[in-house]
Chains A and B, each alone.
Chain A
Amino acid sequence: MTRRWLAALAVVAVSVVAAGCTASAATQRVEIGIHYSAFQPTEVTVPRGVPVTFVLTNDDPIDHEWLIGDAAFHERHRTGTEPAHGARPDEVSLPALGSAQTTLTFDQAGDIQFICHFPGHEAYGMVGVVHVE
């Protein structure tokens, strides 16, 4: 009888540990493609406080970039001088026919834009938004 109880407790313990591991590794995965200089999709929804891995795939034969941030961030990049990005998770350069991924955690709910700031690309429509809930 005691053995059965011990076995049941062991199962519960393992389940709790497994659940804990799952919760800590619950990284969201969001795939965003680029085709004909357009993000696909242009809107995604992610939870607040959870790491989100963005998998970015550029199908175009030209370079693009994926920069995500608030209005001040984008205004700075519209007149920026950096030829390439990659050192920061919110600034990703995407070579022609290339892919990249980056992981971000959003602490506040709200909308945050991602834009390609290569000359003419934003005006062409390379703008998207992440809804943080």
Chain B
Amino acid sequence: MRRLISVAAATTALLVLAAPTFACGGLIGPNGAVNLLRTTTFAGYHDGVEHYVTSFAFAGGEGEFGSLVPLPDVPTSVERGGDWTLQRLNLETEPQPVFAAEAARLGGADGAEVLLEVRIDALDITIQRGGGPEVGAWATEHGFRLPPDAPEVLDFYADRSPIFLAAVFDADAAAARGQAIGDGTPVHLTIPTDDAWVPLRILALGKADAEIVEADIYLLTDEIPSLLPAPGRPFGPEGLELTHSAAASDLLLSDLRSDAGMGWIPERAWLTKIRVDGAASDITFDLAVAADGGTPSAVDAGFAPVGPTPAPWSTPRTWGLLALAVSLPLLAVWLAIWLSQRRSTPPLADA
């Protein structure tokens, strides 16, 4: 049975700078860091196809900046996203003041196999297939340097899906186009997939442990999704909060459907919003989503290694339950025998 999984690929935190700086041997300089603004991502899953919309908005800088997004599968199209889908979702899930209508107006490698190249506004987007070494080689060939945690993080993703989106943002071209700092370029990817997850760990790439990772993730699924890890639970992870979970209104669905490239929006759906707001050292997992309400994959969440699923009887939990199942009847039998013997023993006569 096909897994109905909604996926979001979160936007990246990896920022790599092509312009030369003056640290010894490095291209990412202490003065060259460019910060990504709070990331907003929308992922809808319907009829076996993920529709992923995100906005690349950079906080400033000159020259070119790079960004990597792990993807669950190979997209069939990458195009400019609708201009207000993300803003409309924000309006739906965040408390709006009385003057909401006014606010609404503001919304606004060597070895790597290149699968697709697209230019959207000031963004050069490349979809590539490859592991950590291939992506690293691609970055080097394009004048980027990856942060020191990149080898481990890239392997973390490549083991599950060796598909990456590399976006090169030309700040000079953006300025020439009149894009101001903070303006986003929405990108819409269409990804047929059965295996999906929301990549969160990538958001912490290149950040110091105490740095804060911020992102808003919207999921639109046919049913109420199950999430792993489950945000907001008593034992849920730090930095992950479920801020909205409700049936999507007809008005919202209609509005979304009328944006560019959003004609696939179904007649009914469930809207979930997850806020990521935590220290980089806490964001060590991804978000597995079972859109049919089933069991999310521990592998997709990064809690279990990729590989054959262990036999159910080989887990410590199963062994514990088995031991309990065997020992309880034995204990009951022993107790029954002990009680019967005790009853049959005559009391000692008084001396």
Q: What is the interface size of chain A, counting residues whose CB is below 8 A from a CB of the partner?
A: 29
Whether B149 pairs with A37 at a CB distance below 8 angstroms is yes
Whether A61 pairs with B135 at a CB distance below 8 angstroms is yes
Whether B24 pairs with A82 at a CB distance below 8 angstroms is yes
Whether B25 pairs with A36 at a CB distance below 8 angstroms is no
* Residues on B with beta carbons closer than 8 Å to the beta carbon of A120: 28, 147-148, 206
Whether A85 pairs with B148 at a CB distance below 8 angstroms is no
* Residues on A with beta carbons closer than 8 Å to the beta carbon of B24: 65, 77-83, 117-118
> Is B133 interfacial (CB-CB < 8 Å)?
yes
Knowing A82-B25, A119-B26, say if A124 contacts B132 (CB, 8 Å). Answer: no
Knowing A119-B29, A120-B206, say if A126 contacts B148 (CB, 8 Å). Answer: yes
> Is B38 interfacial (CB-CB < 8 Å)?
no
How far is A97 from B151 in the complex, measured between Cα atoms in Å? 11
Contact of A118 among B23, B134, B208 (CB under 8 A): B23
Contact of B25 among A65, A96, A123 (CB under 8 A): A65
* Distance of B145 from chain A, by nearest CB (Å): 7
* Residues on A with beta carbons closer than 8 Å to the beta carbon of B25: 63, 65, 80, 82-85, 93, 117-118
* Residues on A with beta carbons closer than 8 Å to the beta carbon of B34: none
Contact of A37 among B134, B145, B151 (CB under 8 A): B151
Residue interface bits B85-120, CB-to-A below 8 A is 1, else 0: 000000000000000000000000000000000000
* Distance of B235 from chain A, by nearest CB (Å): 29
> Is B136 interfacial (CB-CB < 8 Å)?
yes
Nearest B residue to A59 via CB reads B151
Interface residues on B, range: 20 to 34
* Residues on A with beta carbons closer than 8 Å to the beta carbon of B26: 117-119
* Residues on B with beta carbons closer than 8 Å to the beta carbon of A97: 133
> Is A131 interfacial (CB-CB < 8 Å)?
no
* Distance of A115 from chain B, by nearest CB (Å): 11
Residue interface bits B125-143, CB-to-A below 8 A is 1, else 0: 0000000111111011000
Contact of B148 among A37, A77, A79, A83 (CB under 8 A): A37
> Is A8 interfacial (CB-CB < 8 Å)?
no
Whether B152 pairs with A37 at a CB distance below 8 angstroms is yes
How far is A81 from B28 in the complex, measured between Cα atoms in Å? 12
Residue interface bits B21-56, CB-to-A below 8 A is 1, else 0: 111111011100000000000000000000000000
Query: Total A-B residue pairs with C-beta atoms closer than 8 Å?
Result: 81
Whether A123 pairs with B151 at a CB distance below 8 angstroms is no
* Residues on A with beta carbons closer than 8 Å to the beta carbon of B149: 36-37, 124
Knowing A36-B152, A78-B24, A80-B23, say if A61 contacts B29 (CB, 8 Å). Answer: no
* Distance of B22 from chain A, by nearest CB (Å): 5
Knowing A96-B136, A119-B28, A120-B206, say if A81 contacts B152 (CB, 8 Å). Answer: no
How far is A80 from B22 in the complex, measured between Cα atoms in Å? 7
Nearest B residue to A67 via CB reads B24
Whether A119 pairs with B151 at a CB distance below 8 angstroms is no
* Distance of B152 from chain A, by nearest CB (Å): 4
* Residues on A with beta carbons closer than 8 Å to the beta carbon of B137: 61, 96
Contact of B208 among A77, A80, A84, A123 (CB under 8 A): A123
* Residues on A with beta carbons closer than 8 Å to the beta carbon of B140: 62-63, 96
Whether A62 pairs with B150 at a CB distance below 8 angstroms is yes
How far is A35 from B137 in the complex, measured between Cα atoms in Å? 16
* Distance of B19 from chain A, by nearest CB (Å): 13
Residue interface bits A54-82, CB-to-B below 8 A is 1, else 0: 00000111110100000000000111111
* Residues on B with beta carbons closer than 8 Å to the beta carbon of A35: 151
Whether B133 pairs with A61 at a CB distance below 8 angstroms is yes
Knowing A80-B25, A83-B25, say if A61 contacts B148 (CB, 8 Å). Answer: no
Within 135-167 of B, Cβ neighbours of A (below 8 Å) are at: 135-137, 139-140, 145-152, 154
Other contacts beyond A81-B22, A96-B137: 9, CB < 8 A:
A36-B152, A37-B148, A60-B136, A61-B133, A61-B134, A62-B136, A62-B139, A77-B24, A120-B28
Taking Cβ atoms with an 8 Å cutoff, the residues of B that contact A are: 21-26, 28-30, 132-137, 139-140, 145-152, 154, 206, 208
5 of the cross-chain contacts (CB-CB < 8 Å) are A61-B137, A96-B136, A120-B147, A121-B148, A123-B208
Give me the 8 closest cross-chain CB pairs, A-B, nearest first: A61-B136, A80-B24, A37-B148, A124-B148, A61-B133, A119-B26, A60-B151, A36-B152
